[in-house]
Chain A
Amino acid sequence: MAALAESWSWFTALAVGVSLFKCLFINAYHSTDFEVHRNWLAITYSLPLSRWYHENSSEWTLDYPPLFAWLERGLAQAARRWDGDMLRLDNLNYASPATVLFQRLSVVCTDLLFIYAARECCRCVRVQKAPQDVLSRPSFVLAVLLLWNFGLLIVDHIHFQYNGFLFGFLLLSVARHLQSRHLQGALLFAVLLNLKHIFLYVAPAYGIFLLRSYCFTLDRPDGSIRWSSFAPLRLLALGGIVVSIFALSFGPFVAMGQLSQVVSRLFPFRRGLCHAYWAPNAWALYSGADKALAALGVRLKLLQGAELPRAAMTGGLVQEVQHAVLPSVPPAATLLCTLVGILPALVSIWCRRRGNRAFLRCLLLCALASFLFGWHVHEKAILLAVLPLSILAVESREDARIFLVLATTGHYSLFPLLFTPAEMIIKVCLMLMFTIYSFTALGNLHRSQGSLLRPMEVAYLLGLVAVAISCEFVFPLSPWRQKLPFLPLLVTSVYCALGVSYSFLRLYATLLRSDDKHKQL
C-alpha cells in the first residue's frame, strides 16, 4: 500500500508544476470574458437574488445557470477582502492589478477540482501490466494530456474562463461512472448542468445510459433489454437526486415567478448561426461552400455582386447571417441535424448492455454531434470532446488515432482566440509542446503495431502546419489583408472542420464496429 501511495508522486509533481505554470500568465492578455466575470461578481454580491437575472446595466448580463451565480457570490465574499472596488456594479471595465490577480488566482484555485478529477480518471485506466518506466505508463500519459491540455490552458488562463472547474465536474462524473458509482456520477452531472447549461449537449448520453444500465438490472441472453428487470427504486433515487439539485438551483426563481426571465437569459436565440469566430463545424463547411458558390457565381456572371448580402459573418458582434446562394439555416434545422447525429449512438447503447466505456464513447459522440451541427457553437466547445477522449486514447490504439487528429485540429482552431502579438509565442510554443508530447507519448504507448496514423491523416495534419504558417505569418504581410480580412478565419475553420468531421465519423465507426463484435459473440 505504501508503494502504491508513493508511486503517485509524479502526479503531484505534474499538478503542482502546472498550477505554478498557470500563475505565470497572470499578466497576460485577457478577453472580455474577464469583465464578464467581474460584472457577475458585482451583480451577485451587490444585488438581491430577485435582481440577478434582471440586471442589465452592463452588456455582459448573467447568462449562466444559478449555481454558477452562487459560485460567483462565494468568490465575491473573498474578493471583498482583496479589492472591494471590483464588486461595484457601476465600476465597468475595472481591472486593477489586485483584481487581475484575484480573478486569475480564483481560476487556478478552482482548477484544483479538475486536478482531483484528472487523478480519479487516471485511476480508472485499465492496464494489462504497468511498465517500470513512469513515462510510459498510460496513467502518466493521461495525466499529462488532461492537466497540460493546450486548449484548457489558453482558454482558462489566458483568454479567461472557468472551464477547468466545470470540466472537473464532468470528468469526475465520468470517472464515477467508470467506477460504477452511478448515483454519484448522476449527482455530479446534475450539479454541472446547473453550473453551465452547455453540458445539456451530452445529457442524452447520460439519460439513456443511466436508464438502460442502472435502472434495468438484467439482460436477455442476447444482450438486449429484459423489461421485467426494471428497478423502480433506482429510478426514484436517480430522479430524486436530479430533481432536488434542480429545485435547489431554480427553485427560488420559480418561487419568485422569474423562471421565464432566467430561461430567456440562458438561451438567447437571437444570436447567429456561427459565433464571432467560426467554429470548425458543419456550418463552417456550409458557409464556406456558400461563399465559394457565390464567388463562383459572380465569376460566371450568374449572380450580381451588388445584390449579395454583405459578408458580415465574422464581424465580431453576434448577429444573424444570411447566406448568398444556399438556403439560410433556421435554428430548428440545426436541432434536427443534431438529433439525427446522436440518435444512432443512443440507440446503440440502448439496444444492448454495453460497458461503461461505450457510455463514454456515446457521450463523446453527443458532444461532437452538437459541436458539428449545433446553433451558435463556440470553438471552445471542442474541449468537451477532446478532454474525455483523452481517457479512451491511452487505452486503445484506434482511439489514440482519432484523438491525435481531433486534438490537433480542435486545438489549432482555438488559435484565433489569442490574437495579440505578445501571446503569439505562448500559443505556438504551448501548442507545439502539447502536440509533440501527445504524438510521441501515444505513439510510444501503442508502439507494438507500427505507426499510429495513416498516410492520409499525416498529410492532412501536415497541411494544417501549412495553413497555420500561411494564416499567421504570410497572410498579414500579403496585399489581401485589406481586401479579405476574414480569409484566414475562413480557411482555418473550413480546414479544421474537415478534421473534426472525420474524427466524428471514425468515432462512430468504432462504436458501431464494437456493436458488430458483440453480435458475433
Chain B
Amino acid sequence: MQTWSLVSISVLLAVLVRWGVSLNSYSGAGNPPMFGDYEAQRHWQEVTYNLPLQQWYFNTSDNDLNYWGLDYPPLTAYHSWLCAYVANILNPDWVELHRSRGYESPAHKLFMRITVLVTDVLIYIPAVVLYCLYLTDGSAKRRVSILLSILLYPGLILIDYGHFQYNGVSLGFALWGVLALGLGWNSLGSLAFSLALNYKQMELYHALPFFCYLLGKCIKAGLIGRGFILLVKITATVLVTFGLCWLPFLPDPSQVLQVVRRIFPVARGLFEDKVANTWCSLNTVIKIRSILTSDSQLYLSLAFTLLAALPSSIKLLMKPTFWNFKLALVNTSLAFFLFSYQVHEKSILLAALPVCLLLNEFPLMCIWFLQASTFSMLPLFLKDGLLVPYTVAFLGFPFLTVYLLSALDDCSEDELKLGTCGKLFSFLPKMHLACIMKWKFYVSMALMAVLSVVSVAMDPPPHLPDLFPVLMSTTAFMHFLGVFLNFNIVQFMDPPRKKSRKKNN
C-alpha cells in the first residue's frame, strides 16, 4: 500500500473519531447560571465582536469579567473575533451582546464544533503528519502507526471535542515549532512557538526547552561569529511576532498591564479541584494551603518548579541536540505540571504532546503515560457527561497502540535506553526485567480500570466524599512522577545509538 493512502486513511479516521466524540455533550450544557468552557468560548466571541478592542480585557458595564472574562492572550481573542464574525453571518443571535448569554441550540453546537475541527485540520493535524513523515525513524508502516497513535490520543480529543476548548491550536503551533526546529529552520520555529505562546499562556510550560535549545545552538555556533547572527535573527523574529500580536494594545501601557494581569491570575491559589500534581497529592498528608501564606506558596512552587526543570534544561543547553530537546520538552512540561502554581488537570495535555513525540522510541512508557493522563481527567469527563466516549478511549487507545507499535514486545529495549542506570539491575536476568515491566503495565492498567469503574458505579462513603477523586489523582500523580524520573534518567544517559530497526512485519 502506498504511504499516501495510509496517511490519508489515518487522517480521515482521526477526523471521524473527533467528530464522533463531538456528537456528545459539552461542559456546562444546560447548566445555568455559569455553564462551562463552551459558554466561555461563546462569551468571548460575543465580547470581542461587540466591544472595541480597548474594552476586551477591562471590567466595564458591557463586559463583566466575573462572567467568563477573557483571560487568554490576544491571539485567542482575535480567533474568537474571527469565529464571531462568521457566527454573526450565520445567526446574529449567537453573538448578540448581553442577550446571547447562555445561548444553546443544536445548530450553535454544530457551529462551535466545526470551528474546533477547522482549526485542528488546519493547524494540529498537518503538524502531526509532517512530524511523523519527516522526523520519525523507521519504515513507512511504522511512521503511519506512530501518526495514527498520536492523532488518536484520547486526552486531547476528549477535551477539545467533548469538554470544548481549542487546545489543538496552541499545541499545534508548538508542534509546528518543534517540527521547524527539527528540520533546522530556527527562525520559523521560534515564530511558530511565539504564536503558540500568544494563543495560550500555558505554552510557557514548553518555553524553557525552546529557549535553551536555541541558545545552546547559538553558543555552539560561537557567540562571536555565526551564533551571534543566529541569536539576533531569532530574537528579532520573536520580538516582531510578539509586537504584531500585541500591536493594538501597545500604544497604551495600561492596556498591556491589564492583559498581563488577566493572563496571570496569581490570586487563585496553589491548586484547584483535584489535580494530579505534587501539591494536591501532598495535601492529603500536609495541608499546605493552611500553613503557608499565599505569597510563600507562590515562591515555594516557583522554586520547586525551577529546581525540577533545571537539570534537563542545563543538559540541553550544554548539548543542544534534537533528541535532548524532545526529552527536555517532556521533562520541563512535567516539572511545571507537577510543581507549578495553579495547575489545571487539563494542563497535562501540555506534557502529553511531547510524550507523543517519543512514542517511536519508548512505546510502552509513552502509552502508559498517555493512558494515565486520560485517566487523570476522568472527573472532568464525568461532569461533562462524556462517559461513553471516555470508555471507548480508555479501552481502545491502549489496545490499538500496543498492537500498532508492538509495545509489549519491545519493552526490553526500554531498558537499553536507560543505559548505565540499567546496569544497577544487571544482577537480574534481562528477560526478567522485561517481564516485570510488562506486569507493572498490566497491573497499572487494571488499577486505573477498577478506579474508573468504581468512581462511576459506586457512591463514596458518606464521611469521605472525595475519596475516589483523591485516589484517582494520587494514582495518576504516581504515574506522572514515575515518568518524570524515568525520562530525566534517560536524558542523562548516553544518547541512543542509531540502531537499524529490523521491522519485518
Is B247 positioned at the interface, with any CB of A under 8 Å from its CB? no
Contact check: which of A20, A136, A422, A432 meets B392 at CB < 8 Å?
A: A20
CB distance from B133 to the nearest CB of A (A): 17
Is B23 within 8 A of A422, CB to CB?
yes
Is B110 within 8 A of A432, CB to CB?
no
Is A134 within 8 A of B395, CB to CB?
no
Is B20 within 8 A of A17, CB to CB?
no
B residues in contact with A28, CB < 8 Å:
20, 23
A residues in contact with B2, CB < 8 Å:
440, 444
Is A436 within 8 A of B9, CB to CB?
yes
Is A327 positioned at the interface, with any CB of B under 8 Å from its CB? no
**With contact pairs A20-B395, A426-B19, A436-B8 given, residues A9 and B388 touching in the complex (Cβ less than 8 Å):** no
Contact with B along A125-141 (1 / 0, CB 8 A): 00000001111100000
**A9-41, CB < 8 A from B:** 9, 13, 16-17, 20-21, 23-28
Is A23 within 8 A of B9, CB to CB?
no
Is A227 positioned at the interface, with any CB of B under 8 Å from its CB? no
Is A426 within 8 A of B16, CB to CB?
yes
Is B16 within 8 A of A17, CB to CB?
no
Separation of A350 and B17 alpha carbons in the complex (Å): 48
Separation of A9 and B408 alpha carbons in the complex (Å): 14
Is B141 within 8 A of A24, CB to CB?
no
A residues in contact with B389, CB < 8 Å:
24
Is B183 positioned at the interface, with any CB of A under 8 Å from its CB? no
Separation of A13 and B400 alpha carbons in the complex (Å): 7
CB distance from A520 to the nearest CB of B (A): 37
Is A135 within 8 A of B19, CB to CB?
no
Is B5 within 8 A of A17, CB to CB?
no
Separation of A418 and B17 alpha carbons in the complex (Å): 18
Contact check: which of B5, B12, B388, B392 meets A429 at CB < 8 Å?
A: B12
Separation of A98 and B50 alpha carbons in the complex (Å): 41
A interface, size bucket? 20 to 34
Contact with A along B399-440 (1 / 0, CB 8 A): 110011000000000000000000000000000000000000
**A412-460, CB < 8 A from B:** 421-422, 425-426, 429-430, 432-433, 436-437, 439-441, 444
Contact check: which of B12, B19, B113, B400 meets A17 at CB < 8 Å?
A: B400
Is B117 positioned at the interface, with any CB of A under 8 Å from its CB? yes
The secondary structure that dominates the A interface is: helix
B residues in contact with A432, CB < 8 Å:
8, 12
The secondary structure that dominates the B interface is: helix
**B1-26, CB < 8 A from A:** 1-2, 5, 8-9, 12-13, 15-17, 19-21, 23-24
Is B396 within 8 A of A20, CB to CB?
yes
Is B23 within 8 A of A430, CB to CB?
no
Separation of A433 and B10 alpha carbons in the complex (Å): 9
A residues in contact with B391, CB < 8 Å:
23
A141 nearest in chain B by CB position? B1
Is B388 within 8 A of A26, CB to CB?
yes
Separation of A20 and B13 alpha carbons in the complex (Å): 13
Is A317 positioned at the interface, with any CB of B under 8 Å from its CB? no
Separation of A136 and B117 alpha carbons in the complex (Å): 32
Separation of A26 and B391 alpha carbons in the complex (Å): 12
B residues in contact with A25, CB < 8 Å:
20, 23
CB distance from B410 to the nearest CB of A (A): 16
Separation of A421 and B117 alpha carbons in the complex (Å): 14
Separation of A263 and B235 alpha carbons in the complex (Å): 82
A430 nearest in chain B by CB position? B16
Is A421 within 8 A of B110, CB to CB?
yes
Contact check: which of B17, B110, B504 meets A24 at CB < 8 Å?
A: B17
What number of A-B contacts does a CB cutoff of 8 Å give?
78
CB distance from A244 to the nearest CB of B (A): 41
A residues in contact with B21, CB < 8 Å:
24
Is B105 positioned at the interface, with any CB of A under 8 Å from its CB? no
A residues in contact with B284, CB < 8 Å:
none
A27 nearest in chain B by CB position? B23
Contact check: which of A26, A433, A439 meets B13 at CB < 8 Å?
A: A433
Is B505 positioned at the interface, with any CB of A under 8 Å from its CB? yes
CB distance from A313 to the nearest CB of B (A): 30
A437 nearest in chain B by CB position? B9
B residues in contact with A132, CB < 8 Å:
504-505
Is A136 within 8 A of B1, CB to CB?
yes
Is A298 positioned at the interface, with any CB of B under 8 Å from its CB? no
CB distance from B445 to the nearest CB of A (A): 15
A residues in contact with B8, CB < 8 Å:
432, 436
**With contact pairs A20-B392, A426-B16, A436-B8 given, residues A13 and B403 touching in the complex (Cβ less than 8 Å):** yes
Is B1 within 8 A of A429, CB to CB?
no
B residues in contact with A21, CB < 8 Å:
16-17, 20
Is B117 within 8 A of A436, CB to CB?
no
CB distance from A193 to the nearest CB of B (A): 35
Separation of A123 and B355 alpha carbons in the complex (Å): 39
A residues in contact with B396, CB < 8 Å:
16-17, 20
**With contact pairs A425-B117, A433-B9, A436-B9 given, residues A441 and B1 touching in the complex (Cβ less than 8 Å):** yes
Separation of A9 and B24 alpha carbons in the complex (Å): 31
Separation of A425 and B389 alpha carbons in the complex (Å): 18
Is B9 within 8 A of A27, CB to CB?
no
A residues in contact with B395, CB < 8 Å:
20
Separation of A143 and B505 alpha carbons in the complex (Å): 18
A7 nearest in chain B by CB position? B505
Is A101 positioned at the interface, with any CB of B under 8 Å from its CB? yes
Is A433 within 8 A of B23, CB to CB?
no
Contact check: which of A17, A24, A422, A444 meets B1 at CB < 8 Å?
A: A444
Is A440 within 8 A of B5, CB to CB?
yes
Separation of A339 and B200 alpha carbons in the complex (Å): 68
**With contact pairs A426-B20, A441-B1 given, residues A135 and B141 touching in the complex (Cβ less than 8 Å):** yes
B residues in contact with A441, CB < 8 Å:
1
CB distance from A366 to the nearest CB of B (A): 33
Contact check: which of B13, B392, B400 meets A23 at CB < 8 Å?
A: B392
Is A440 within 8 A of B16, CB to CB?
no
CB distance from B153 to the nearest CB of A (A): 15
B residues in contact with A136, CB < 8 Å:
1
**With contact pairs A134-B505, A425-B19, A433-B13 given, residues A24 and B392 touching in the complex (Cβ less than 8 Å):** yes
**A380-432, CB < 8 A from B:** 421-422, 425-426, 429-430, 432
B505 nearest in chain A by CB position? A134
B residues in contact with A440, CB < 8 Å:
1-2, 5
CB distance from B258 to the nearest CB of A (A): 39
Separation of A493 and B345 alpha carbons in the complex (Å): 51
A residues in contact with B24, CB < 8 Å:
27
B388 nearest in chain A by CB position? A26
Contact check: which of A422, A430, A439 meets B110 at CB < 8 Å?
A: A422
**B176-235, CB < 8 A from A:** none
A12 nearest in chain B by CB position? B403
Separation of A133 and B1 alpha carbons in the complex (Å): 10
Given contacts A13-B399, A436-B8, A439-B5, 14 further A-B contacts (CB under 8 A): A16-B399, A20-B395, A20-B396, A23-B388, A23-B391, A24-B17, A133-B505, A425-B19, A433-B9, A433-B12, A433-B16, A436-B5, A440-B1, A444-B2
Q: List 28 A-B contacts (CB under 8 A).
A: A9-B403, A16-B396, A16-B399, A17-B396, A21-B16, A23-B388, A23-B391, A23-B392, A24-B17, A24-B389, A24-B392, A25-B20, A26-B388, A27-B388, A28-B20, A101-B388, A136-B1, A421-B110, A426-B19, A429-B12, A429-B16, A430-B12, A432-B8, A433-B12, A433-B13, A433-B16, A436-B5, A444-B1
Chain A residues engaging chain B, CB cutoff 8 angstroms: 9, 13, 16-17, 20-21, 23-28, 101, 132-136, 421-422, 425-426, 429-430, 432-433, 436-437, 439-441, 444
Question: A-B pairs with the 8 shortest C-beta distances?
Answer: A24-B20, A440-B5, A433-B12, A20-B396, A27-B23, A13-B403, A20-B392, A429-B12
